[in-house]
Amino acid sequence: MSITEGMKKKVLGGGQVSREEALALYGEPLRELCAAADEIRKHFCQNKFDICTIINGKSGKCSENCKYCAQSAYYHTATEEYPLLDTEEIVRQARYNAKRGVLRYSIVTSGRALSDAEVGQMCGAVRAIKESVDIEVCVSFGLLNEEQFRAVKEAGATRVHNNLETSRRNFPNVCTTHTFDDKVAAIRAARAAGLSVCSGGIMGLGETREDRVDMAISLRELGVKSVPVNMLNPIPGTPYEDNGRLTVNDMRRVVAVYRFILPDASIRLAGGRGLLEDKGAGCFESGANAVISGDMLTTSGYTIESDMEMIEKLGYKAALCGN
CATH number for the domain that contains residue 145: 3.20.20.70
Residue in 100, 128, 122, 164 with CA at minimum distance from that of residue 306: 100
Angstrom distance (rounded) from CA 30 to CA 161:
30
Q: What number is the average pLDDT over the span 203-232?
A: 97
Per the domain annotation, does 9 fall within a domain?
no
Per the domain annotation, does 2 fall within a domain?
no
Mean of all residue pLDDT scores within the chain: 93
Q: What's the CA angle centered on 247, arms 204 and 170, to 5 degrees?
A: 15
Provide the number of structural domains found in the chain.
Answer: 1
Range of the domain at 204: 16-318
Among 49-63, 108-122, 126-140, which is the least confidently predicted range? 49-63
Per the domain annotation, does 241 fall within a domain?
yes
pLDDT digits (tens, 9 = 90+) for 10-20: 999 999 999 99
pLDDT digits (tens, 9 = 90+) for 127-176: 999 999 999 999 999 999 999 999 999 999 999 999 999 999 999 999 99
How high is the pLDDT of residue 323?
57
Per the domain annotation, does 8 fall within a domain?
no
pLDDT at 102 over 60: yes
* Strand partners for 196: 159
Among 46-60, 138-152, 300-314, which is the least confidently predicted range? 300-314
Q: Note the pTM of the prediction, 2 decimals.
A: 0.94
Per the domain annotation, does 6 fall within a domain?
no
Angstrom distance (rounded) from CA 163 to CA 228:
8
Q: What number is the average pLDDT over the span 190-214?
A: 97
Per the domain annotation, does 51 fall within a domain?
yes
Q: What number is the average pLDDT over the span 236-248?
A: 94
Per the domain annotation, does 5 fall within a domain?
no
Q: What number is the average pLDDT over the span 35-51?
A: 96
CB neighbours of 293 closer than 8 A, spacing ≥ 6?
Answer: 51, 52, 53, 102, 301, 302, 303, 304, 307
pLDDT digits (tens, 9 = 90+) for 265-287: 999 999 888 888 888 899 999 99
Per the domain annotation, does 7 fall within a domain?
no
